[in-house]
């Protein structure tokens, strides 16, 4: 897996400095309660560099049209959409005709599941996991009602924040038709070896769908290496606008019995897209990929720059994350969840302060200009298994613009709550 395992500090000098990166994000100038805002809400949606907003504005002001018509702004729209497909293809290591856009990952996954479900019959099985966001559970459990398929769920081990692999192996049977699995948990940061899981599923002839929404902002996605049939991510988690992206192996996309309008294009990837698309969002998604690539030295091809940038950003944030983890762990009454910093994980941490509901912790942090999120983040089953359903947990995620100083402000803010 191309993942945190390949991240080394040696690449760090080849990327832009944090100060250079921060200069691209107007949101970082925001002052709240007399403090410059420190954004730890990236796992719920990152801030956006100027280049992304510029691409969207430029599209609306200069190229706005519908597709496939014979006049310049329509042709420009077609070209912009194709350029964004190519950018996302580089981002995921796919080809441009394997990239479809949609409202968000949840909508795309419901759409895909309905299409796959049309060929499923009673007694067929789908495997989901307790470690997943419900956007990668509900679309599949809907098929239990609609197609009478059986949904089996792989257990999470709450103590480690990892999947129970023995259970996974037992849940995959000769009747398995789909494995729906997440590459990284948006609640715990744990990274799952989706290639290994996919091999088990492919061995019984099942399709493999990977939720890469949380993973994609933190490590290079490589759908070829993962050998998945489908994968989805969301541009707004990776410095882009609110739009979803679906990858499908070309022959899989061609083969889907997808709900569509008879007169709409039937070629892939267009056949996956319903109605008129969010053209400005697509322009912004492509610009977000180009922006990520621009963080790395400009001497390589775009895919190599994306990989270098994401790996080096992860390496740069590793000591910040370790500092955060160690400081929170040392606080009396603070409990952390998920794998330790040296494990295969993203730089997203969830924790509770005993006796203080998560909502009160984040309100207190916000008063210091530190923005963090709380609740279950729709990773509801994880939070249940951790016994935290009543008050939820606090979640803080590091992003490309996070500084050491901001991490120390977060630590001080939690300390102030825990020390009350």
Report cis status (omega within 30 of 0) of the bond before 269.
Answer: yes
User: Quick check: 126 and 150 in contact, CB under 8 A?
Assistant: yes
Least distance from ligand PLP to the Cβ atom of residue 255, Å = 25
- Of residues 251-310, those binding ligand PLP (CB under 6 A): none
User: Quick check: 248 and 85 in contact, CB under 8 A?
Assistant: no
Least distance from ligand PLP to the Cβ atom of residue 416, Å = 28
Residue 46 lies near ligand PLP (rule: CB under 6 A):
no
Nearer to ligand PLP, 213 or 258 (CB): 213
Nearer to ligand PLP, 84 or 234 (CB): 234
Nearer to ligand PLP, 369 or 397 (CB): 397
CA distances from 95 to 61, 136, 304, 382 (A): 29, 24, 15, 34
User: Quick check: 314 and 400 in contact, CB under 8 A?
Assistant: no
Residue from the set 234, 268, 381, 402 that interacts with ligand PLP by CB under 6 A: 234
Least distance from ligand PLP to the Cβ atom of residue 304, Å = 26
Burial state string for 37-55 with b = 16 or more CB within 10 A and e = fewer than 16: bbbbbbbbbbbbbebbeeb
Least distance from ligand PLP to the Cβ atom of residue 245, Å = 9
Looking up tokens 């020390």 gives 419
- Of residues 176-195, those binding ligand PLP (CB under 6 A): 182, 186
Nearer to ligand PLP, 41 or 124 (CB): 41
User: What is the DSSP pairing of strand 334-337 with strand 348-353?
Assistant: antiparallel
Least distance from ligand PLP to the Cβ atom of residue 164, Å = 19
Distance CA 27, CA 30 (A): 6
Burial state string for 333-371 with b = 16 or more CB within 10 A and e = fewer than 16: ebebbbbebeebbbbbbbbbbeebebeebbebbeebbbb
Residues in Cβ contact with 131 at an 8 Å cutoff, skipping those fewer than 6 apart: 154, 156, 161, 162, 163, 182, 185, 188, 190, 192, 379, 382
Least distance from ligand PLP to the Cβ atom of residue 42, Å = 11
Distance CA 198, CA 180 (A): 9
Stretch 192-231: interaction string toward ligand PLP, x if CB under 6 A: -------------------x-xx-----------------
Least distance from ligand PLP to the Cβ atom of residue 87, Å = 18
Nearer to ligand PLP, 11 or 47 (CB): 47
Distance CA 168, CA 172 (A): 6
Nearer to ligand PLP, 106 or 176 (CB): 106
Nearer to ligand PLP, 181 or 356 (CB): 181
Q: Residue 84 corresponds to which tokens in the numbers above?
A: 């964004």
Taking each helix axis from N to C end, the angle separating 279-294 and 302-329, rounded to the nearest 10 degrees, works out to 80
Least distance from ligand PLP to the Cβ atom of residue 129, Å = 11
Residue 244 lies near ligand PLP (rule: CB under 6 A):
yes
> Among the residues of 209-301, which ranges form H helices?
223-226, 250-255, 279-294
- Of residues 126-165, those binding ligand PLP (CB under 6 A): 133, 135-136
Contact window for ligand PLP (CB under 6 A) among 23-31, 98-106, 248-256, 279-287: 98-106
Q: Which of 114, 88, 92 is nearest to 101 (CA)?
A: 88
Contact window for ligand PLP (CB under 6 A) among 101-109, 113-121, 166-174, 295-303: 101-109
Residue from the set 21, 52, 56, 105 that interacts with ligand PLP by CB under 6 A: 105
Least distance from ligand PLP to the Cβ atom of residue 135, Å = 4
Residue 240 lies near ligand PLP (rule: CB under 6 A):
no
Distance CA 242, CA 281 (A): 7
* Positions in the binding site for ligand PLP (CB under 6 A): 104-106, 133, 135-136, 182, 186, 211, 213-214, 234, 244
């Amino acid at each position: 897996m191309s993942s945190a395992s390949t991240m080394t500090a040696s690449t760090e000098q080849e990327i832009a400095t944090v100060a250079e990166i921060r200069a691209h994000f107007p949101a970082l100038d925001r002052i709240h309660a007399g403090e410059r805002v420190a954004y730890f809400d990236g796992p719920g949606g990152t801030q956006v560099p100027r280049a992304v907003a510029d691409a969207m504005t430029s599209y609306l002001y200069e190229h706005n049209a519908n597709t496939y018509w014979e006049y310049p702004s329509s042709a420009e729209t077609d070209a912009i959409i194709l350029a964004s497909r190519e950018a996302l293809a580089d981002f995921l290591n796919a080809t441009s005709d394997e990239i479809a856009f949609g409202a968000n990952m949840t909508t795309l996954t419901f759409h895909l599941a309905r299409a796959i479900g049309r060929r499923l019959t009673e007694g067929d099985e789908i495997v989901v996991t307790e470690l997943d966001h419900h956007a990668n559970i509900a679309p599949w459990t809907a098929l239990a009602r609609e197609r009478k398929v059986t949904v089996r769920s792989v257990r999470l081990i709450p103590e480690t924040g990892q999947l129970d692999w023995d259970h996974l192996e037992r849940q995959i049977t000769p009747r398995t038709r789909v494995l729906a699995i997440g590459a990284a948990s948006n609640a715990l940061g744990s990274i799952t070896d989706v290639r290994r899981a996919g091999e088990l599923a492919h061995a019984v002839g099942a399709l493999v769908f990977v939720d890469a929404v949380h993973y994609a902002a933190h490590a290079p996605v490589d759908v070829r290496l993962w050998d998945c049939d489908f994968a989805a991510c969301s541009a707004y988690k990776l410095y882009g606008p609110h739009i979803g992206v679906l990858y499908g192996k070309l022959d899989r996309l061609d083969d889907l019995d997808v709900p569509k309008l008879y007169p709409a294009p039937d070629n892939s990837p267009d056949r996956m897209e319903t109605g008129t698309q969010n053209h400005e969002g697509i322009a912004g998604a492509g610009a977000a990929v180009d922006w990520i690539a621009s963080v790395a030295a400009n001497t390589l091809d775009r895919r190599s720059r994306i990989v270098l940038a994401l790996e080096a950003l992860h390496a740069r944030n590793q000591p910040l994350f370790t500092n955060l983890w160690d400081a929170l762990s040392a606080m009396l009454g603070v409990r952390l969840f998920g794998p330790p910093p040296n494990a295969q994980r993203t730089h997203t941490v969830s924790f509770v302060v005993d006796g203080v509901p998560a909502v009160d912790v984040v309100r207190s942090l916000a008063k210091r200009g530190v923005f963090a999120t709380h609740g279950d983040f729709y990773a509801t089953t994880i939070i249940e298994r951790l016994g935290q359903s009543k008050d939820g947990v606090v979640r803080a995620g590091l992003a490309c613009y996070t500084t050491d100083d901001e991490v120390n402000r977060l630590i001080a803010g939690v300390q102030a709550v825990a020390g009350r």
